């Protein structure tokens, strides 16, 4: 079996990243946007693990950082969902085009 190269992983990560960005920009629903953000974060996590594995084998900083980022993103998701629930309670809607009050 041919050895898996770094680039293969990177391609996956890039696809995930841009899929996330695309979703973030085009989705109209706050939950879908949140999911897109998770995609972006996970692609970055893959990069961390990847570079640690290939460039600095025997060291663990990248793995730890990945775990750390997963923890932080879990918290962030919790906060974001709380905000979304509150928005829903206020305007009965979580469509992002309706959220313009803060600009004034």
Partner 1 sequence: MEYTFIIVLLPFLSFLFLGLAGKKLAPRVAGYVGTAVLAISAALSYLAAWQYFTTAKVGGVFKPWSMDFRWLNFTKDLHIDLGMLIDPIAVMMLVVITTVSLMVHLYSIGYMHGERGFQRYYAFLSLFTFSMLGLVVATNIFQMYIFWELVGVSSYLLIGFYYTKPEAVAASKKAFIVTRFADLGFLVGILLLSFYTGTFSFERLTSGDASLFNEAGGVTFMGCSVIGWALALIFIGGAGKSAMFPLHVWLPDAMEGPTPVSALIHAATMVVAGVYLVARLFPVYYLEAPDVLVLIAIVGAVTSLYAAVVACVQTDIKRVLAFSTISQIGFMMVGLGVSGLEGHEGLGYMASMFHLFTHAMFKALLFLGAGAIIHAVHSNEMGHMGGLRKYLPVTRFTFLIACLAIAGIPPFSGFFSKDEILAATFHFSPLLGAVMSFTAGLTAFYMFRLYYRIFWNKETRHDHAPHEAPRSMTIPLVFLAFVTLVAGPIPFGKFVTSDRAEYLIHLDWTVAGASVAIALVAIALATLLYRKESAIPDRLATSFKGLYTAAYKRFYLDELYLFVTKKIIFNGISRPIAWFDRHVVDGTMNGFATLSQRVSCAIRGFQSGQVQQYVMVILLGTLFITVLVLFI
With binding defined as CB under 8 A, does residue 92 bind partner 1?
Answer: no
CB of 77 to partner 1, least distance (A): 17
Candidates 1, 4, 75, 102: give the one binding partner 1 (CB under 8 A). Answer: 102
Number of residues that bind partner 1 (CB under 8 A): 12
Rounded-to-5 percentages of helix, strand, coil across the chain: 80, 0, 15
CA distance 73 to 15: 20
With binding defined as CB under 8 A, does residue 90 bind partner 1?
Answer: no
Counting beta carbons within 10 angstroms of the beta carbon of residue 85, is it exposed (0 to 12), middle (13 to 18) or buried (19 or more)?
Answer: exposed
Candidates 21, 49, 67, 84: give the one binding partner 1 (CB under 8 A). Answer: 21
With binding defined as CB under 8 A, does residue 78 bind partner 1?
Answer: no
| Distances, alpha carbon 100 to alpha carbons 61, 87, 91, in Å | 41, 12, 12
Binding site for partner 1 (CB under 8 A): 21, 24-26, 33, 96-97, 99-103
């Amino acid at each position: 079996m041919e050895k898996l190269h770094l680039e293969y992983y990177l391609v996956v990560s890039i696809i995930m990243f841009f899929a996330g960005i695309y979703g973030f920009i085009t989705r109209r629903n706050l939950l879908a946007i949140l999911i897109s953000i998770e995609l972006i974060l996970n692609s970055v996590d893959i990069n961390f693990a990847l570079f640690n594995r290939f460039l600095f084998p025997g060291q663990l900083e990248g793995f730890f950082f990945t775990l750390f980022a997963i923890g932080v993103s879990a918290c962030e998701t919790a906060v974001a969902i709380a905000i979304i629930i509150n928005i829903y309670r206020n305007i009965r809607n979580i469509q992002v085009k309706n959220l313009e009050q803060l600009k004034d």
